[in-house]
Structure 1
Amino acid sequence: MGLPERRKTLGYSQEKLAELLGVDRTTVGRWEGGKITPQPCQRPGLARALDISLQELEALLSPPQAVERGTAEQKSTDRPSVGDPDEMIRREFLRILTVSGALSVLPLDEAEALADGVHRGNPDDFARMNGHLWQVYQLARTKGTVHPVVRDQLTTLKEALSGERRGNSLLLLNAAADLFQLAGEVAFDANRYADAAASYALAASVGKEADAYDLWACALVRHAYVDLSERKYREAADILHAAERVAARGDSTLSTRHWVASVQAEVLAGSGDLAGCERALARAEEVQHLAGDSANGGWLRFDGTRLAEERGARYVQLGRFDLAEEVLTKALDHSALAFGHSYRRRGAVLADLAVIGVKRRDSDQVVAFTREALDLAHASSSGYIARRLRSLCDEFGPLSRDHRVAGLRAEIASLSTP
């Protein structure tokens, strides 16, 4: 029996079940069609509505093992979009690897320490493929285009981990910790915070199990960004403190601990601590004393090239617009060299300069910088740029009486993200 049959047995229409759960009817249709699976937070309510246990619900949601050839071929070409949840892949990993307990440094139920039982695969190939995927992700204008390939790679890695032969377990764990960070990045850019947090939690768990301290610390830093996006500074500070301890046990030739300091500066700025922010930025700037290979270009990309724009953004957070404008304008002038192919980075600087314009009630500055950032958002479908622009809208205030600003507000409200 599947989900549609159970619903019909209880006498529910799709519309009635959707009404009970507070979702759209089309969502129920997509669940039943296997296009997406219910989010973790939706599953307890769905189980109650269907009068079954969570374990029985999992069985209903699991795809059948045998399908006709034509159906299987059709499903293989029906790739899930970036909006589809990756809970099934995460659950399959957790079934393969033995769960030994909660990861104490993460305030998240999904963060489980993964124990022994990893089987042999082909770790060298996984490492090389992961490196290629990070490069594609960085170069892609629309980050969501990487999502299907990442899913395929996760599935392949899952199969390698479930193989019968043992060996190379640490290398495979490293590959898994790497890949789950990339999966989290794709989800985060699409504003899928729950999926991003779960992917980062798994990345941290696997990195911890492999004693890969830099991988583990970087996953924690990325997890802190989820809290930062919601301005939960205390929660982010706790995770970054854990990341700092882990990074101290890592490779001193890598820039991990400097990246931690850079993100700690953002937390301190959000808390209004200018002196603490300056100290954290000073620690981050020590990355310039490291050798040129201190970042690997994949899960660790912090090499100090972003510090100018980061400093400017922190000054905006702190309301020191006099200091911010000079730094950000200089960063924008050097954007061709500094930003490379990153629409996301240029869009962030433009949004910060627009904020300064808002604070000075300078409509011309607001319109110029917001217009360019909007163009980048349209060109890249970046959820990150869209998020920054929506935060900017909250600042417009009386400037919205300017028809140009009002038009920009309407256009930002209509931005679609993956």
Structure 2
Amino acid sequence: MTLKDRRKALGYSQERFAALIGVDRTTVGRWDRGETEPHPEYRPKMAAALHVDLVTLDALIKESSASREPDAGSPSHDAYGPGEEDMIRREFLRALTVAGALAALSVEEADALADDAARDDAAGYLRMNDHLWQVYQLARSKSSVRSVVTDQLSVLNGTLSDRPSPLGLLCVAAGDLFQLAGELAFDGNRHTDAAAAYSLAASASKEAGAFDLWACALIRHAYVEMAGGQYREAVGLLSVAERVAKRGDSSLSTRQWVAAVRAEAHAGLGHLSECERALDEAEKVIHLGGHAHNGGWLRFDGSRLAEERGARYVQLGQLDKAEAALNNALERGALAEQQSFRRRAVVLADLAAIGARRQDSDQTLTYATEALRLARQSSSGYVARRLQGLRAEIGSLVGDRRIAELDAEIAALSAT
């Protein structure tokens, strides 16, 4: 089915569909004919209007492009960009195609076709994913892990295509690995690629009936929305994640992680009471046993709650509460030696922001300089983005030469 087929099946004229999406009718005509592909910013509205998810929408768009006779020398219209990101996207779509071919079989029937060797292969993917998560967490530069994750995606895709395999386990492996690919994209500030990865992770997890894995994909997608300032959209995603998590394993910390991220979304909206209620809900993680997380796609263990609470109070302008919580987080991290460069840098950036709001140049410089040093060592795009946000806070202090130099260094870091 093409994009045009789906549009017409729902009774939309080109004019009506264009009005819903916010484009010209001629643009819809070009989409129908497969001459161009919709840009990422239009796709959520299109998916909602057509009552499909983003992965299914992508398949409709590709089918529209495939049905068009190619013109010699016509340009390629790739909404996600060239290079490695495009290759990863093709891996996603290829895996989706294979999953679609097996859709006539239930997970149980597909698994029955797999032999013991195939089951061992699928279990091996899960073990490899666990290893990759550990490498990712220990790596100072997250981007250094990208190539091996991309290779693993290719190998997994080959297994999906080659022979009958236990579909349930492979879908779990895919949902797991696509979340790691999304984290790498998100850390590199490639938000479109991160959203695509998390969408496919959610679809694969749903296919496998892995509710906690599915909920975690939705949680990570909410982070993409918040990075773009779309806090209401994030709250909506997290409400879905909460419902999915309730169908999962209550001994895992998925529900508490949903609450912790919901606190961030409510803080972004300026909702103090809702934020504090969500943080209190997240703290229930301390009552769970020692196996509440797996250290991979689910890592929420409560160790970050002090820094999470501090960051939320910074968002809400509760500076005294924020400073107490953040200093507590730094002290705990130093004692336990468990804070990564990235985590410590984010706490320091928040403490620098408090100094800026208090017009305290010395506090701002002390914390921001150390955060900048850690950002350079970790090469984290996420930390660079947080420091970029700090520039808005220190704007009133740039009359101080030291602050002006700091601002220039942050700008240079963000540019690279």
TM-score bin (small chain): 0.7 to 0.9
Query: Counterpart in 2 of 1:252?
Result: 250
Contact 1:96 1:162 in 2 (8 A): yes
Structure 2 unpaired stretches of 5+: 1-35, 43-63, 75-81
- The aligned residue for residue 16 of structure 2 is none
Would you say how many aligned residue pairs link Structure 1 and Structure 2? 341
For residue 206 of structure 1, the aligned residue among 187, 204, 207 is: 204
Q: Which residue of 2 aligns with 1:5?
A: none
CA distance in 1, matches of 2:127, 2:245: 24
* 2:93 paired residue among 91, 94, 98: 91
Q: CA deviation at 1:330?
A: 1.6
Q: CA deviation at 1:247?
A: 0.1
Alignment check: 8 A CA contact 2:349 2:390 kept:
yes
Match of 1:241 among 239, 245, 255: 239
Matched letter for residue 143 of structure 1: K
TM-score with structure 2 length normalisation? Answer: 0.76
Q: Within 1, Cα distance between the matches of 2:268 and 2:169? A: 38
Aligned partner letter, 1:324: A
CA distance in 2, matches of 1:366, 1:82: 38
Q: Return the letter of the residue paired with 2:166.
A: N
- Residues of 1 paired with 2:385 and 2:402: CA distance? 20
Contact 1:227–1:233, Cα closer than 8 Å, also in 2 = yes
Paired residue for 1:145? Answer: 144
Displacement after TM superposition at 1:207 (Å): 0.5
- Shift in Å, 1:39: 9.8
Q: Which amino acid aligns with 2:332?
A: H
Give the percent of matched residue pairs that are identical in Structure 1 and Structure 2. 55
Partner of 1:284: 282
| 1:29-40 correspondence to structure 2 within 5 Å | none
Residue by residue over 1:80-133, the C-alpha shift from the partner in whole angstroms, topping out at 9 and shown as x without a partner, is: 9877662221122122221899xxxxxxxxxxxx99979854111001000000
| In the alignment, structure 1 residue 217 sits paired with structure 2 residue 219 | no
| Structure 1 segment 261-276 matched on structure 2, within 5 A | 261-276=259-274
Matches within 5 A, 1:121-200: 121=118, 122-164=121-163, 166-200=164-198
Match for 2:354: what amino acid? I
Kindly report which structure 2 residues correspond to 1:331-410, keeping only aligned pairs within 5 A, or say none: 331-338=329-336, 340=338, 342-410=340-408
Deviation at 1:338, TM superposition (A): 4.9
Q: Partners in 1 of 2:383 and 2:318 — Cα distance? A: 22
Q: Deviations over 1:313-339 (max 9, x none)?
A: 011011000111111112112223456
Out of 303-312 and 86-95, give the one that drifted further: 86-95
Deviations 1:332-367 (A, max 9, x none): 122234562511111110011011001000001111
- 8 Å Cα contact 2:272/2:316 also seen in 1: yes
Give the superposition deviation at 1:167: 4.0
SS at match of 1:415: helix
Q: Report the AA paired with residue 95 of structure 2.
A: F
Structure 1 unaligned spans of 5+ = 1-37, 45-52, 62-79, 102-113
Q: Quote the Cα distance in structure 2 between the aligned partners of 1:254 and 1:190.
A: 29
| Conserved 8 A contact 1:190-1:417 | no
- Range 365-374 or range 114-123, more displaced: 114-123
Mapped to 2, the partners of 1:39 and 1:145 lie a distance apart of 31
Q: Supply the distance in 1 between the matched residues of 2:108 and 2:279 (Cα, whole angstroms).
A: 37
Mapped contact 1:82–1:190 kept (Cα < 8 A) = no
Deviations 1:127-182 (A, max 9, x none): 10000000000000000111000011101110111122x34110111000000000
Q: Does 1:313 align with 2:315?
A: no
Alpha-carbon separation, structure 1, partners of 2:321 and 2:240? 31
Structure 1 counterpart of 2:50 = none
Structure 1 residues 59 and 98: CA distance shift in structure 2, 3 A: farther
Alpha-carbon separation, structure 1, partners of 2:303 and 2:84: 29
Contact 1:316 1:356 in 2 (8 A): yes
User: Structure 2: how far apart are the matches of 1:156 and 1:345?
Assistant: 32
**Cα distance between partner residues in 1 of 2:301 and 2:194:** 23
> What is the one-letter code of the residue matched to 1:353?
L
Q: Which amino acid aligns with 2:347?
A: V
Cα distance between partner residues in 2 of 1:126 and 1:189:
23
Q: Distance in 2 between matches of 1:308 and 1:57?
A: 57
Task: Give the direction of change, closer, same or farther, for the CA distance of 1:94–1:397 in structure 2 (3 Å limit).
Answer: same
- Conserved? CA contact 1:339–1:346, under 8 Å: no
1:336 and 1:83 map into 2 onto residues whose CA distance is 37
Q: How high is the TM-score relative to the length of structure 1?
A: 0.76
Q: Secondary structure in 1 aligned to 2:393?
A: coil
Indicate conservation of the 8 Å contact 2:110/2:166, yes or no: no
The residue type equivalent to 1:228 in the other structure is M
Aligned residue type for 1:272: G
Question: Are the counterparts in 1 of residues 98 and 160 from structure 2 also a CA contact under 8 Å?
Answer: yes
CA shift for structure 1 position 312 = 0.5
Contact 2:333–2:339, Cα closer than 8 Å, also in 1: no
Query: Which one-letter code corresponds to 2:319 in the other structure?
Result: F
Rate the CA distance shift 1:115–1:86 in 2: closer, same or farther, 3 A: farther
| Matching residue's letter, 1:168 | P
**Contact 2:85 / 2:193 at 8 angstroms: preserved in 1?**
no
Question: Cα gap change, 1:256/1:338 in structure 2, threshold over 3 Å: closer, same or farther?
Answer: farther
Q: State the 1:230 CA deviation.
A: 1.2
Q: Please tell me the root mean square deviation across aligned C-alpha atoms, in Å.
A: 2.8
